[in-house]
Structure 1
Amino acid sequence: MQAKYISYQETGSFSKLVLDYINNEEALKAFYSYRPDMDGLAEAIEKRNFLGDRNILVSVLRNQYQHLQPNKSVTRNIELLLDHNTFTVTTGHQLNLFTGPLYFIYKIVTAINLAIELKIAHPDKNFVPVYWMATEDHDFEEINHVSVDEKNISWIQSTNGATGRLSTKTVAAAVTAYKGYLGISKNGKHIAKLVEKAYLEHDNLADATRYLVNNLFEKYGLVIVNADEPSLKKLFTPIIEADIIEHNSAKNIEQSSGELEKLGYKTQVNGRDINFFYLKENLRERLIFENGKYTVNHTDISFTETELKAEIQLHPERFSPNVVMRPMYEEVILPNIAYIGGGAEVSYWMQLKANFDHYQVDFPVLLLRNSALLIDKRSAQNLYSLGFCLEDIFLPVEELKNLWIRKNSTAQLLLADETRAINSIFDQIKLNAYKIDKTLSVSTDTAKQKTNHLLANLEKKLFRAEKRKHETALIQIENVKKRLFPNGTMQERTMNIAPMYVNYGEDFLSTCIEKFEPLGGDFTLLLP
């Protein structure tokens, strides 16, 4: 495959905050620690003060991988984490069914590539790409479906607990439906076998996801972490206790959010007084402080402050950080120097820096994940034959149609010159009328507005008439747009890896590894 790079601005798909961050706007500098470039990463490496325990981390990983038989690259990276000169490059995501949308894949590729680039730049140190499984999330409705060929495949199940602990006993029907799409080609059979073994031979969603993602990326040394572990939570207990009782994160995040909003940026998350859930089998509910006690929402479980502290010390695994405290948990237990996320993640991490500073936890380099659009040969040929550049596909469909009509119409459709000439005549009429009677200038302005309105309507009618003459080409424009932007959204946000793997096999992943530039600051167009 070939690659072409365009600016994120040209896609029209990224927020002002993300674009300003990429462009190094001065106003945002208070909300992060280091620039997302080699100089910023070098500074982060130099200043990293890891508060966790490498022995505990490696022990947990060895245990989680014991039934997986990882290859040498993964095993070596796990053991390298014992070395104080080893750092992690992390991305995280929910346990989406069959990996979910393509950006799940792109996040991991970005982490792998950044680790490779850092090793080249700092050969005396080691860098391990990490996928943090969001195993403690409980919003099953967000992850229980996948879009394949514009059809939804869903896993029907009911749960209120952590998704990572969810039994896979009821997933067989979804696996069968997914396999039906994959077909009988060599590539289709290969990924179908991986999915079968992942979801039908593992007891819970966390283990199933680890198996599938490991098989896709183990050759690159990706390490997969499930942080729903008592020994890892134990490292986080001082912050769990302090934050639940003192409400520090709520105050710090509220202040940062207010400052960002004053600068004109939209905030992504809202902190609560208590930013932890209480977690047990089939239960993940918010902790609430009311009437002098700590209660678990929608249950009869409650604690006094003394009882709460004892519970945290005895069972830290029962305290699950929400979206605003999960990043800090990650940075406490991993020797991390960079976090890779989508636009929304980069935005909400900036709301968190003040809280990191409060707890004296190092804030990592924030890096926008690589984004891509794969333009298949048929679509590329259609665009070229229509006279468009590849990047034109990001324009709204009506704008594309109007552009094509202007280029291909034999008639004059825009009445700008005529409108200017008529307005000039009205200005002269107004001047003459004013000399006769000052009140007549208002009547002249009214006549001018009505005429401009009539001309605008005539221009629209000219366009509609021309569109009828070129119906075939305009339908072709609509079809290309639908193919590349399914359901009207970015390909990577809806399309699953399945069609990419069926059509291109391992070449698709290797092309992403080869072509994505984690520090390039550009959007990637992939061309088979």
Structure 2
Amino acid sequence: MEVECIPFKETGYFSRLICDYLDQKETLSPFYNRYPKPENFGDQIKEKAANYPKSNRSVLVGSLIEQYKGVNVSKETQKNIDSLGSENTFTVVTGHQLNLFTGPLYFLYKIVSTINLAKRLNKQHPDQHVVPIYWMASEDHDFDEINYFNLHGKKVLWNKKATGAVGRLPTDGLDEVFEIFASELGNLGLTDRLKDLFKEAYLGHATLTEATRYLANSLFGEEGLVIVDGDDKELKKLLVPYAKTDILDHTPFEEISGTINKLSKLSTDYNIQVNPREINYFYLKDGLRERIVLKKGKYHVINTHIDFTEEELLDELEAYPERFSPNVVARPLYQEVILPNLCYIGGGGELAYWLELKAYFEKVGVTFPMLMLRNSVLLITEKQSEKVEKMGLTVSHLFMKQHSLINKKIRDISNIDIDFSPQKKLLEEQFQQMYALAEKTDKSFLGAVKAQEVKQKKGLDNLEKRLLRAQKRKLKDHVVRLTDLQNALFPNRSLQERQLNFSEIYLEMGDDMIPLLLETLDPFSQDFTILKH
């Protein structure tokens, strides 16, 4: 197994905000607590220990025991659940949607990053214990985002009408999806393990939450992963005081809006990931998850006939906290209230919206976690690696936009020089002389000189493009082989990890896949990882 690394900012797939965060740009320091360096975790442990109520631990452990009833719990996971009752135990967390059969590959990379971070911290801080957590986004209602996965370039789709929180959805209809999946897999090689895993997860459990817990536990239970479902009445009780400040005082709306304004002033390249609402909670029942808004003096659940006075809403919140579901802005706070958490591990988009939240956390007195970019991986076979070498390229070249990559390759292999830069430079020198002449004779002539310069430069650009097109036709075989290779490694001209499902890689690597990721990936890495297998 060979490992190659590319700095995230050189891949072209990460935002300016995230690249600046990774560079620890000074202007961004007000927007996070501590940067996730190994030496910074000691202070984070002290701060969280001083700011996490002991009573929350017993609630957390009690809920986890209930959630794991009927689940085959590994010794490591059980040990971690039990340890959460101790004051010297902390967590590191990643979260993800309940994508069908894990969805894209990076589901695995998120969890591996989290497990490996916990292992590193346990070695570094032997007097504390750190537990890896996977937070299931069971209350999301964007069914169209999670009801499919890709296999061999085809979409395996759960075609179902769905409303409300996806975690509560019954698994009806997934037997038909299994038949499609099994047919696409065929009967060769490692397919039986994948079929059994899908069948046991989705046909053997009543809801999508139960199925996803089974699947994640099957893949990572031996590593001690603890899976948390936030759709839990006892856990929601801990959120009630914070929900009140959101609904009545609009605290997150004010604080996050101010942060967004500050971020926007730092750079026009910083795209805002999420915007807060005046009320950042949904009303949740089976088949229903709709926003709560203040309308004509009452709290109205949109797309329903449900209305509350302020007193009625507060009574409902106290009596039925499980009916109040935090949105993307409020959910991070919920997580940090109920967990003794040190660090959140997520993708670039997730970290971008977490960077909007620190002032809100400070306002309500909750410790802001460290933010770590998850590992990103490109898996490449030996055969594909050999093709790259034969083409005189490196894997890093394949991260280029396809037209730029083709042009580079054509220039590299062409027996004529298709770079007109020297001619353009000579042209500029000649026109400098003409500008000087115009200055001495007739300055009104300067515009005509400029127009002629632009025209001739444009002519050279057009000639260069025509020559490249001609060479592409002449060297068509090289172009086809190059584009086929890049398309295989970057399907839909996107990162492999955002398109492929783990099952496709499992068919190549088998049971070595996850152990290899656990062995190879460094959560503190600042690089995109290329694994040749």
What are the within-5 Å matches in structure 2 for residues 253-272 of structure 1?
253-264=256-267, 265-272=270-277
- Tell me by how many angstroms 1:53 deviates: 1.5
The answer to whether the 8 A contact 1:182-1:498 is kept is no
Three-state SS of the structure 1 residue aligned to 2:190 is helix
Q: Which residue of 2 aligns with 1:289?
A: 294
What is the TM-score of this pair, normalised by structure 1?
A: 0.97
- Tell me by how many angstroms 1:496 deviates: 0.6
* CA distance in structure 2 between the partners assigned to 1:361 and 1:446 by the alignment: 62
Give the residue type in structure 2 aligned to 1:194: L
- Tell me by how many angstroms 1:450 deviates: 2.4
* CA distance in structure 2 between the partners assigned to 1:327 and 1:501 by the alignment: 32
Give the residue type in structure 2 aligned to 1:7: P
In the alignment, does 2:476 pair up with 1:454? no
Return closer, same or farther for 1:272/1:383 CA change in 2, 3 Å cut-off. same
Deviates more, 1:399-408 or 1:107-116: 399-408
- Tell me by how many angstroms 1:415 deviates: 2.2
Q: Which residue of 2 aligns with 1:50?
A: 52
Deviates more, 1:147-156 or 1:430-439: 430-439
Q: Which residue of 1 aligns with 2:91?
A: 88
What are the within-5 Å matches in structure 2 for residues 89-128 of structure 1?
89-128=92-131
In the alignment, does 2:242 pair up with 1:239? yes
Return closer, same or farther for 1:186/1:443 CA change in 2, 3 Å cut-off. closer
Three-state SS of the structure 2 residue aligned to 1:505 is helix
When the two structures are aligned, how many residues end up with a matched partner? Answer: 528
* CA distance in structure 1 between the partners assigned to 2:290 and 2:457 by the alignment: 61
What are the within-5 Å matches in structure 2 for residues 177-326 of structure 1?
177-264=180-267, 265-326=270-331
In the alignment, does 2:4 pair up with 1:7? no
* CA distance in structure 1 between the partners assigned to 2:305 and 2:426 by the alignment: 78
In the alignment, does 2:351 pair up with 1:349? no
- Tell me by how many angstroms 1:491 deviates: 0.7
* CA distance in structure 2 between the partners assigned to 1:426 and 1:272 by the alignment: 57
Deviates more, 1:167-176 or 1:415-424: 415-424
Three-state SS of the structure 2 residue aligned to 1:410 is coil
The answer to whether the 8 A contact 1:235-1:333 is kept is yes
- Tell me by how many angstroms 1:302 deviates: 1.1
Q: Which residue of 1 aligns with 2:412?
A: 407
Three-state SS of the structure 2 residue aligned to 1:3 is strand
Return closer, same or farther for 1:2/1:183 CA change in 2, 3 Å cut-off. farther
Q: Which residue of 1 aligns with 2:478?
A: 473
Residue deviations 1:330-377 (CA, integer Å, cap 9, x gap): 111111111111001101011111111111011111111111111122
- Tell me by how many angstroms 1:240 deviates: 1.3
Q: Which residue of 1 aligns with 2:18?
A: 18
- The CA RMSD over aligned residues, in Å, is 1.5
Give the residue type in structure 2 aligned to 1:269: V
Residue deviations 1:99-126 (CA, integer Å, cap 9, x gap): 0001111100100000000001011111
What is the TM-score of this pair, normalised by structure 2?
A: 0.96
- Tell me by how many angstroms 1:236 deviates: 1.1
Return closer, same or farther for 1:403/1:304 CA change in 2, 3 Å cut-off. same
Q: Give structure 2 stretches of 5+ with no counterpart.
A: none
Q: Which residue of 1 aligns with 2:386?
A: 381
Give the residue type in structure 2 aligned to 1:30: P
- Tell me by how many angstroms 1:394 deviates: 0.5
Q: Which residue of 1 aligns with 2:76?
A: 73
Q: Which residue of 1 aligns with 2:514?
A: 509
* CA distance in structure 2 between the partners assigned to 1:434 and 1:365 by the alignment: 61
Give the residue type in structure 2 aligned to 1:228: D
- Tell me by how many angstroms 1:508 deviates: 1.3
Residue deviations 1:486-511 (CA, integer Å, cap 9, x gap): 11111111111011111101211111
Residue deviations 1:13-72 (CA, integer Å, cap 9, x gap): 111111111111111111111111112222111111213621121121112112112111
Give the residue type in structure 2 aligned to 1:86: T
Q: Give structure 1 stretches of 5+ with no counterpart.
A: none
Return closer, same or farther for 1:446/1:45 CA change in 2, 3 Å cut-off. same
Three-state SS of the structure 2 residue aligned to 1:414 is coil
* CA distance in structure 1 between the partners assigned to 2:442 and 2:230 by the alignment: 82
Residue deviations 1:261-295 (CA, integer Å, cap 9, x gap): 11112210011110000001111111111111111
In the alignment, does 2:525 pair up with 1:520? yes
Three-state SS of the structure 1 residue aligned to 2:524 is coil
Return closer, same or farther for 1:186/1:439 CA change in 2, 3 Å cut-off. closer
- Tell me by how many angstroms 1:448 deviates: 3.1
In the alignment, does 2:154 pair up with 1:151? yes
